Amino acid sequence: MGLFAPIKDHHSEAQLFVGRVILSSVIGIILLGIVVVRLVQLQVVDHELFAEQSQGNRIRIEAVPPTRGLIFDRRGRVLAENLPAYQLELIPEQVPDMADTLARLAGIGLIKEEDIPRFNGLSQSGPRFKPITLRFRLTDDEIANFAVRRPRFPGVDLQPRLVRHYPDGELVAHAIGYVGALSTADLQRLDAAAYSGTSHTGKTGVEHFNEDLLHGDVGFRQVVTNALGRQVPAETRGFADAGPESESPSPGENLYLTLDLNLQRIAAEQLDGRRGAIVAVDPNNGEVLALYSSPSFDPNAFATGMSPSDFNSLQQNPDRPLVNRAVRGSYPPGSTIKPMLSLAALEIGATNLTRRSVCIGYYSLPGSTHRYRDWRPEGHGEVDLHDAIQQSCDVYFYEISRDIGIDNMHYYLDQFGLGTETGLDMAGESDGLVPSREWKRGAFSERADQVWFPGETIIASIGQGYMLATPLQLANATAALAMRGQRFKPHLVAAIEDPLTGERTVMAPEQLPNVQITNEFNWDNVLAAMHDVMQSNRGTARATGLGAPYAMAGKSGTAQVFTVAQEDEYDEDEIDERLRDHALFIAFAPFDAPEIAVAVVIENGSSGSRVAAPMARAIMDQHLGLNDGVNADEL
């Protein structure tokens, strides 16, 4: 029997089966436990986290740009506003043939052919479901032109938008500036989050300098999207949105400027397209009443989108209409600095009220044969300081300049604000230049060029040589003369208004250090001579001032563009127009209680008293309500 083993062991097989069942059950229970734990974690512990992620996958936050603040003049007239307009937009994915569509739009005059490559590039650079703006503002005729052809242009449509508009265009272009499309440089400079959804920003003038006030605060809205990022219409969603749907943007602040639109209009009429600038300030507080540069340009072209060819045309214009001559133009001030130098000479004892000189039409330094010529070839005869200012005798100032010295000239002219930025609330202001020995040592690298020569002091005394000033600086210095040395920082913004509450914050004038002239009697004599420049029988600008119903003071100036050789004579009729002398004039009125100070600079205008002085008179007449009987509010 021991030689034969059982064929099947039922007991062992039963034990093995039971062991396997137990092992499988344990593994199953463990796996089920893991699943249950994970479900509890997902649906209970991390419910809020995944709910937010799910919400974020279907809801996109879109920025809502704020409405830009408005700009008004001192009388409340709108200088910059936002107008509803229709933009021409294209959605690339809905356009079957991009090249053909753009070509046909150009064919009916809605876009320019030169812009087609740029639009092609934009259509390929971003999401194809996002619209591209082809035109920022269409006229009524253009809207009608497209409307009748809309079925032929799938993917192209009109969209309502707010567009910046300047009602008086060229009158305020350089003062107000303009807005333009955001550039790469703008995006690097500005806060990207604050400018989400914004397409334009201030580029120049008040628009640029006060961008943080005018722009406002961006809002947002929730947009339900599908997996591709496209917006899902509300009627097809099938469920309610969670959380807040939007936050309204805060509009930008409104600005009330010190500018008077009437004076801007008179300035434009007086310049009549000639190259130059007119600046007027209130000497009592530094308010800029007029700031006009000519020739000007239409800022609306920048706000609505300008073609490269149009922009190049403006840039290449030899008259440089884009340059703000009022704050960036640097000109030799000519004889307009003579009242300031007279005060300096009296203060330091370089001259006095009884000193007399004989003007024979030229002056030579001792031991030199070089002649520094007077503007009047035959000379002025015997003159004192009053006569020298009144008749603008160059020889008198040539003589006293040696006793004043270039460093004293620099010291006193600097007190009047020449040679440095005025601090106007506008970017891009030029410094001008009042030379000194120290300046020349730093300006030139060669030792021989660093030496200050006596002849350079001579020509500096009549505002020539290295000396440069902007029309704004001259107006500001004239205001200091009118106020007997009291100075204010010029400013354009008079008040800031909250558009929601209407509450205004008035900008207080900022006083600057006074001109240090200790003897009040010196002011009396210099200002009296300036009065006689315009309102005496021998003044250089008597033709402009005589017979006026109010007392005024002024000083003419003529600045050479090129040097005339000793043996040559200056003949205005025989030289190119752009080589003729610049014409300058400064003035203030009324004489005893000044309300306005004016500076006029006319490039190649030849004569300050003949050309520039009547323009200054017209500005003062307008401000004082004497514009041929026309009410200022009616202009």
Q: What is the pLDDT of residue 484?
A: 97
What angle, rounded to 10 degrees, do the helices at 338-348 and 406-415 form? 110
Q: Which CA distances in Å does 611 have to 23, 306, 366?
A: 111, 36, 36
**H helix count then E strand count, the chain:** 23, 23
Instruction: Check whether 416 has a pLDDT greater than 70.
Output: yes
Range of the domain at 399: 261-634
Higher pLDDT, 14 or 165: 165
Q: Which CA distances in Å does 87 have to 137, 161, 276, 509?
A: 5, 7, 37, 42
Q: CA 245, 131, 186 angle in degrees (round to 5)?
A: 85
Q: What is the pLDDT of residue 7?
A: 64
Q: What is the pLDDT of residue 441?
A: 94
- For residue 589, the one-letter residue type is A
Q: What is the pLDDT of residue 586?
A: 97
Instruction: Check whether 242 has a pLDDT greater than 50.
Output: no
Residue 47 CB-half CA count within 13 A: 5
CB contact at 8 A, 120 and 98: yes
Q: What is the pLDDT of residue 629?
A: 39
The top-scoring range by mean pLDDT among 33-42, 98-107, 117-126, 522-531 is 522-531
Q: What is the mean pLDDT of residues 615-623?
A: 96
Domain CATH code at residue 616: 3.40.710.10
Q: Which long-range contacts (CB under 8 A, 24 or more apart) does 40-43 make?
A: none
Q: CA 143, 126, 58 angle in degrees (round to 5)?
A: 95
Share of the chain above pLDDT 90, in %: 57
Is beta strand 511-512 parallel, antiparallel or unpaired with respect to 288-294? unpaired
The rounded distance, in Å, linking the Cα atoms of 132 and 115 is 13
Instruction: Check whether 178 has a pLDDT greater than 80.
Output: yes
Q: What is the pLDDT of residue 269?
A: 96
User: What is the tens place of the pLDDT at every residue in 434-479?
Assistant: 999 999 999 999 999 999 999 999 999 999 999 999 999 999 999 9
Q: What is the pLDDT of residue 224?
A: 65
Please name which of 486, 478, 532 lies closest in space to residue 337, comparing C-alpha atoms: 478
User: What is the tens place of the pLDDT at every residue in 507-539?
Assistant: 999 999 999 999 999 999 999 999 999 999 999
Tokens representing 592? 């005893």
Element (H, E) at 156: strand 156-165
In a domain, 133, yes or no: no
Q: Is the dihedral of CA 451, 454, 458, 461 positive or negative?
A: positive
In a domain, 119, yes or no: no
Q: Against a cut of 0.75, is the pTM above it? A: yes
- Tell me the sheet residues that pair with 90: 132, 156
Give the number of domains in the chain: 1
Torsion angles phi and psi, residue 538, rounded to 5:
-115, 5
The rounded distance, in Å, linking the Cα atoms of 69 and 244 is 27
Whether the bond between 590 and the residue before it is cis, its omega within 30 degrees of 0, is yes
Give, as one character, the DSSP assignment of residue 626: -
**Residue 116 backbone class (left: φ over 0; alpha: ψ -120 to 50; beta: rest):** alpha
Q: What is the pLDDT of residue 329?
A: 94
The top-scoring range by mean pLDDT among 150-164, 237-251, 565-579 is 150-164
- Chain centre to alpha carbon of residue 622: 26
Instruction: Check whether 239 has a pLDDT greater than 50.
Output: no
In a domain, 514, yes or no: yes
Annotated active-site residue in 123, 335, 392, 401? 335
In a domain, 593, yes or no: yes
The rounded distance, in Å, linking the Cα atoms of 44 and 37 is 10
SS3 290: strand
The rounded distance, in Å, linking the Cα atoms of 447 and 444 is 8
In a domain, 231, yes or no: no
| Strand ranges inside 173-302, DSSP E | 179-181, 200-202, 219-224, 246-247, 254-257, 276-281, 288-294
Q: What is the pLDDT of residue 61?
A: 63
Which region among 181-195, 338-352, 508-522 has the lowest average model confidence (pLDDT)? 181-195
Higher pLDDT, 266 or 573: 266
Q: What is the pLDDT of residue 51?
A: 61
Q: What is the pLDDT of residue 20?
A: 82
Which region among 110-114, 169-173, 229-233, 319-323 has the lowest average model confidence (pLDDT)? 229-233
The rounded distance, in Å, linking the Cα atoms of 174 and 329 is 12
| Strand ranges inside 424-543, DSSP E | 487-488, 493-497, 504-506, 511-512
Q: What is the mean pLDDT of residues 399-418?
A: 96
Share of the chain above pLDDT 70, in %: 87
Q: What is the pLDDT of residue 297?
A: 94
User: What is the tens place of the pLDDT at every residue in 124-168?
Assistant: 766 676 677 788 778 888 888 888 888 888 888 888 888 899 999
Contacts of 198 (CB under 8 A, 6+ apart): 63, 65, 66, 182, 215, 218
Tokens representing 280? 């007027």
SS3 532: helix
Torsion angles phi and psi, residue 301, rounded to 5:
-65, -30
Q: What is the pLDDT of residue 635?
A: 39
Q: What is the pLDDT of residue 488?
A: 97
Answer yes or no: 335 catalytic.
Answer: yes
What is the number of other CB atoms lying within 10 angstroms of the CB of residue 89? 17
What's the chain's average pLDDT? 86
CB contact at 8 A, 577 and 549: no
The rounded distance, in Å, linking the Cα atoms of 302 and 474 is 30
In a domain, 404, yes or no: yes
The rounded distance, in Å, linking the Cα atoms of 92 and 157 is 12
Instruction: Check whether 115 has a pLDDT greater than 90.
Output: no
Instruction: Check whether 234 has a pLDDT greater than 70.
Output: no
Give, as one character, the DSSP assignment of residue 34: H
Instruction: Check whether 634 has a pLDDT greater than 50.
Output: no
In a domain, 451, yes or no: yes
Contacts of 74 (CB under 8 A, 6+ apart): 256, 257, 258, 259, 260, 287, 289, 494
Torsion angles phi and psi, residue 495, rounded to 5:
-155, 150
Q: What is the pLDDT of residue 232?
A: 59
Instruction: Check whether 551 has a pLDDT greater than 90.
Output: yes
In a domain, 39, yes or no: no
- Tell me the sheet residues that pair with 87: 159
Q: What is the pLDDT of residue 57?
A: 55
